[in-house]
């Protein structure tokens, strides 16, 4: 009987709800803003299941600490190794923005390793979440969320966005921008491009 209760991961079996229930994977409404904690910041190097090509990017996972979706997690891919120069520049700027907001400076000029990024874990920021959708090769509609904008923690109000209802299999475009709604806030660029930096 003793072996039956041995954890597969080595963690203690508690019977607590937080360890027993599946995580909530429902879509978070587009435009939701919440104060969040960085719980993962790492380099990913993997084979893309759809394109069968090697992908290399940084992945940041934020856990919301307030609002209607408290304790939900949402990610951001920083495609700093992309083929397109515009994508590289935008993603490097986003990476530097997150580091600056976290008062973090890399110790060297090379691509940061997972151990270099460890001090980022636990840092706080306010994030804006958008819905995304795309059509898979098999024709199925895939939907999810991602972080689109990152601000100093508490500098933009926490709010629940509006659910975007997908009515066709055409991928969605960019949605309303918290930057546009909060353009008068100190420290934000005074333009209407919707780009957060």
* Annotated domain spans of the chain: 25-172
Q: Are residues 24 and 34 in contact, defined by beta-carbon separation less than 8 angstroms?
A: no
The SS3 of residue 151 is: strand
What is the structure's pLDDT at 48?
80
Whole-prediction pTM = 0.73
CA of residue 68 relative to chain centroid, distance: 17
CA distances from 41 to 76, 143, 160 (A): 9, 23, 25
Q: What mean pLDDT is predicted for residues 33-61?
A: 92
Q: How far apart are CA 8 and CA 31, in angstroms?
A: 38
What is the structure's pLDDT at 178?
45
In this predicted structure, the answer to whether residue 168 has a pLDDT above a threshold of 70 is no
Q: Residue 162: CB partners within 8 Å, gap ≥ 6? A: 29, 30, 31
DSSP 8-state symbol, 45: E
Bin 10: left if φ > 0, else alpha if -120 < ψ < 50, else beta.
Answer: left
The SS3 of residue 95 is: helix
CATH classification of 25-172, choosing from 2.20.25, 2.40.50, 3.20.14, 2.60.40? 2.40.50
Of 119, 130, 122, 188, the residue nearest 161 (C-alpha): 130
In this predicted structure, the answer to whether residue 66 has a pLDDT above a threshold of 80 is yes
Give the model confidence (pLDDT) of 117-166 as tens digits: 999 999 999 999 999 988 887 888 888 999 999 999 999 999 999 998 87
């Amino acid at each position: 009987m003793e072996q039956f209760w041995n954890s597969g991961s080595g963690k203690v079996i508690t019977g607590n709800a937080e360890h027993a229930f599946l995580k909530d994977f429902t879509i978070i409404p587009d435009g939701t803003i919440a104060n969040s904690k960085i719980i993962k910041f790492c380099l990913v190097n993997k084979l893309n299941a759809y394109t069968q090509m090697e992908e290399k990017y940084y992945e940041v996972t934020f856990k919301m600490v307030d609002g209607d979706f408290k304790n939900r997690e949402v990610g951001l891919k920083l495609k700093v190794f992309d083929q397109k120069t515009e994508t590289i520049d935008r993603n490097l700027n986003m990476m530097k923005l997150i580091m600056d907001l976290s008062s973090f400076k890399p110790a060297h000029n090379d691509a940061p390793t997972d151990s270099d990024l460890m001090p980022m874990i636990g840092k706080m920021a306010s994030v804006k979440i958008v819905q995304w959708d795309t059509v898979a090769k098999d024709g199925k509609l895939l939907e999810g969320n991602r972080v689109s904008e990152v601000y100093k923690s508490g500098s933009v109000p926490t709010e629940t966005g509006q659910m975007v209802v997908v009515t066709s299999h055409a991928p969605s475009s960019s949605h309303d921008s918290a930057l546009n709604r909060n353009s008068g806030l100190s420290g934000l660029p005074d333009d209407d491009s919707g780009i957060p930096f």
